[in-house]
Structure 1
Amino acid sequence: MAEHLDTGKQGEDKATEFLADKGYEIIVRNYRYRHAEIDIIAKKNKILVFVEVKTRTNLSYGMPEEFVDATKRRLIMKAAENYIFDRDWHGDIRFDVVSVIINSGTVKVHHIEDAFY
């Protein structure tokens, strides 16, 4: 597996662990709809949360969360719309970003709630 894919999987694993420790119920990971993927779908306090995870080992180009651009947000929202429709969900939803920085054996996780609409 390519190194960047290993880093991404490691970041998603750390984000999943972080959310679970915060009381989130992890529903599904890597939900796909057409060309879109939602890294983590979780539930907390009757809110369905769609989570994009961004992982970096180097901050030369900026913070991980800065890489969730408008195109990525649109794709995530489209996949979320499909998930909501398929499951006939009528409750509240939220879109979060979890930023993971892995550097020299240390891991920093930053959770941004309600990151976009």
Structure 2
Amino acid sequence: MADKDDLGRRGEDIAATWLEQRGMAVIERNWRCSAGEIDIILREGTTTVFAEVKTRTSTAFGHPFEAITAVKAGRLRRLAAEWCRANPTPGEIRIDVIAILDAWSPRPTIEHVSGAV
């Protein structure tokens, strides 16, 4: 299981750096509550962005975006609402999804869908 955890952490690190390079500011990483976890929470202007990161070594078992099922999307919306209750912040909110492929290579593939959920 450690390999999967290491891969997930690597993907989240890549995503956080990539998003910061595009002008977003990381507020929190791996925020947890009883309902689950949000990978990365960021600010982009007046918008709070909740980012779900899916990392895979390849597409042999499907593209990372395929892991965002209707059930997962609903959980992400509930988690974002829970964070907002605990951290009242003015402005809009958005849930993005980041796919990372080949995370251990010097040039991983990064795909970002803004407002995906």
State the TM bucket, normalised to the shorter chain. over 0.9
**Structure 1 residue 87 displacement after superposition:** 1.5
What is the identity percentage for the equivalent residue pairs of Structure 1 and Structure 2?
Answer: 34
- CA pair 90-11 structure 1, distance change in 2 beyond 3 A: same
| Superposed structure 1 runs of 4+ greater than 3 Å apart | none
Once residues 30 and 77 of structure 1 are traced to their aligned partners in structure 2, the CA distance between those partners, rounded to angstroms, is 16
Once residues 21 and 104 of structure 2 are traced to their aligned partners in structure 1, the CA distance between those partners, rounded to angstroms, is 23
1:42-88 deviation digits (Å, cap 9, x = unpaired): 00021000000000002112210111111211221111111111122
Alignment of 1:75-114 (within 5 A): 75-102=75-102, 105=105, 106-114=107-115
Once residues 26 and 45 of structure 2 are traced to their aligned partners in structure 1, the CA distance between those partners, rounded to angstroms, is 13
> Which residue is equivalent to 2:67?
67
Choose between structure 1 and 2: higher strand proportion: 1
Aligned partners of 1:58 and 1:103 also within 8 Å: no
**Structure 1 residue 103 displacement after superposition:** 6.1
Q: Once structures 1 and 2 are overlaid, which stretch shifts more, 96-105 or 16-25? A: 96-105
> Which residue is equivalent to 1:7?
7
**Structure 1 residue 90 displacement after superposition:** 3.2
Once residues 103 and 15 of structure 2 are traced to their aligned partners in structure 1, the CA distance between those partners, rounded to angstroms, is 15
Structure 2 unaligned blocks of 5 or more: none
**What TM-score do the two structures reach when normalised by structure 2?**
0.92
Structure 1 unaligned blocks of 5 or more: none
AA matched with 1:9: R
**What TM-score do the two structures reach when normalised by structure 1?**
0.92
Tell me the SS of whatever aligns to 1:38. Answer: strand
> Which residue is equivalent to 2:54?
54
